[in-house]
Structure 1
Amino acid sequence: MKMDRQAQFRAREVLIFQIAEQLLLENGEAGMTLDALAAELDLAKGTLYKHFQSKDELYMLLIIRNERMLLAMIQDIEKSFPEHLAFFMLHHLHHPERTALFHQIEERLSTTAQGIQQLFSELYKIRRQRLRIIIRMTESYLLDINSSMTTRDYLASIWSLTYGAAVILNSSFYQRYLGSRDTLRVAYIEQALAMPKQLEQVSSS
């Protein structure tokens, strides 16, 4: 019976996080209230507090959940570097509102929130673990294609391109000028893959 209660607790937590992220992405921070979340889940508000203590803590748990997803993706050793790059970028570009909003929330909480330092430590631990894998993978790829681009420069360029693309795809103004979002996503991925090769072409010309 005890295990059944634990399983129910975990299943409820998964559902809470799914619905919370959905409400956050649909309504933004201002529209994602704990009252709305409780109503959507048909749960007492007090039940929510068994899973987190504040809305800031909930936001951090959602960001950590997303970071764990990214770590799981990069641990697939069957994929090549270009495949990993495409999966990473599409994770962000298929849900640009999540990428933009999570980044904004994380930066705000890092300077204003109280009592969630342990969650930031957990987030950074997962992120460092992912970065160690990515750095090794990127170093190997750049050697394989004989690029003189540094790992730092390439990874920084990939993230700048990805985050900038997410912001544009999420823009209420620029969306009307973008045309097919699918072809634009592909173009961003191709641009990211071409960067270290373009550097060699410029250097040799």
Structure 2
Amino acid sequence: MSYLVFLLEEPSAAEMLKGILPRLLPAEITVKFIIFEGKQDLEKQLERRLKGWNQPNSAFLVMRDKDSGDCLIIKNRLIEKVMATGKRASTVVRIACAELESFYLGDLKAVEGGLNIPNLAKKQNVKKFRTPDLLSNASEELFKLTDGRYQKVSGSRDIGPHLKIDGSNQSHSFNVLLAGIDKLLGMIA
């Protein structure tokens, strides 16, 4: 049995992944989510949780939001923690720039379909939605854009199955996440 283990800072990331993973993974891959209580908790417990995972043929993806931090500093700090576990070769670290909601703003057709909001996809050509990773307040933007209908966990659950996984999402960090998942599949499949 092969395991793909996601170490995530929040439940909404797991809900989004549950919507895209069935379209990306072969049925024989077992997915596990380890969800932390925010980014500080993830950073505090990451080494212990990775060291404690003993299933053979496992690969790991660590994901957290950039928020207002520096992407490279955050990623390097997480990689150092992963290296301390001896599992660097089977682990990919990904940073959502700047927030998970940037992924959704990069695919407004998915938001339209997931939240049943007509004509939302038409706004994809608005400058800020063409490069959503540059927005420092993606969650606020999404909340306003959906007239308050977007809620973190339920919204992620509803939007995830509609997200395009063909590389056309306007969020570069979402496409990098998909590439990371693909890389890990090559290690365990």
Q: Same-fold call, TM > 0.5?
A: no
Structure whose alpha-carbon radius of gyration is higher? 1
Q: Which has the higher helix share?
A: 1
Q: Normalised by the size of structure 1, how large is the TM-score? A: 0.27
Higher RCO structure (Cα 8 Å, ≥6 apart): 2
Q: Which has the higher strand share?
A: 2
Q: Normalised by the size of structure 2, how large is the TM-score? A: 0.28
